[in-house]
Amino acid sequence: MTDWTSQTARAKEWFESLRTRICNEFEAIEREAGSDAAFEFRPWQREEEGNTDPGGGVQGLMKGKVFEKVGVNVSTVKGSFAPEFAATINGASAESPGFTATGISLVAHMANPHVPAVHMNTRFLTTQAAWFGGGADLNPPLPYDEDTADFHAAFRAACALHNPTYYDRFKKWADDYFYIPHRGVHRGVGGIFYDHMECADPQAFGRNFQFTRDVGEAFLGIFPKLVRRRMDTEWSEADKRQQLEWRGRYAEFNLVYDRGTLFGLKTGGNVDAILMSLPPEATWS
């Protein structure tokens, strides 16, 4: 079995550096809006019986004038899956339930209904296999074609650096994944989603790690631009009602269907960090 310790450390370092730059940019937007809001960082330690090094992470949370609630979390954990859950994970089994996982997870809920909410996550996992996964998707209560086009263009360009088939494949994966079957609607205007980008050897790790870094850079390059474009737009009470109803749909998806939520809860993660994706306020009609 390959020892992926050094690769996990490299991925962790990247996720932490990306978090720092994202948080700095989001705080800069708050300053532009006349707010002194800043991220509060809360370290947490995972617990697992018999495991002397289960890992943990840092939850970053900010509530401001532009970002009503935004969480940017990085975690690095190590341990064993429960037997029944191991059977659902790539490369794991009841006989070989060990895993490591490191990643960054971000969800932003915006104060102005005209500013799109967003989700971004990238991660590196090892079991008997090793792989990268992640993506980003835009979730506007009041969609603008220009914003949707620019968001997709950023990720199309990142994909094109690596493989001409990536964007179409990963866009479709996002469209299929970020769908609420019981409502018959998508939860937003999509993006890209990829998983099980396997690293059979160090060369494959290098290629897939670079792609994952480019996904992070694409997010950092485009989302702040969309926020600045819309954050001063006037909004009505009808706009706010639509935002709150849409947030209810977002909560339904994350609690019923989201694999990342399930993974965090099944591996003894920090509950507050896992559920930071839920909106600060929502309605159901």
pLDDT of the residue at 88:
85
DSSP-derived secondary structure letter, 63: -
pLDDT at 86: 80
Amino acid identity of 89?
I
Q: How far apart are CA 22 and CA 43, in angstroms?
A: 18
Q: Which residues of the chain have pLDDT under 70?
A: 1-2
Residue 36, number of CB atoms within 10 A of its CB: 9
| Structure tokens belonging to residue 42 | 């809360």
pLDDT digits (tens, 9 = 90+) for 152-176: 999 999 999 999 999 999 999 999 9
Q: What is the CA angle 75-81-85, rounded to 5?
A: 115
pLDDT for 132: 98
- For 183-200, letters b (16+ CB in 10 Å) and e give eeebbbbbbbbbbebebe
pTM exceeding the 0.85 threshold for the entire prediction: yes
Q: What is the set of active-site residues?
A: 119
> What letter represents residue 50's amino acid?
G
> What pLDDT does residue 90 have?
84
pLDDT of residue 206: 96
Return the pLDDT at 248.
95
Domains along the sequence of the chain with CATH: 5-30+39-276 (3.40.1500.10)
| Dihedral pair phi/psi, residue 194, rounded to 5° | -145, 155
Tell me what pLDDT residue 92 has. 81
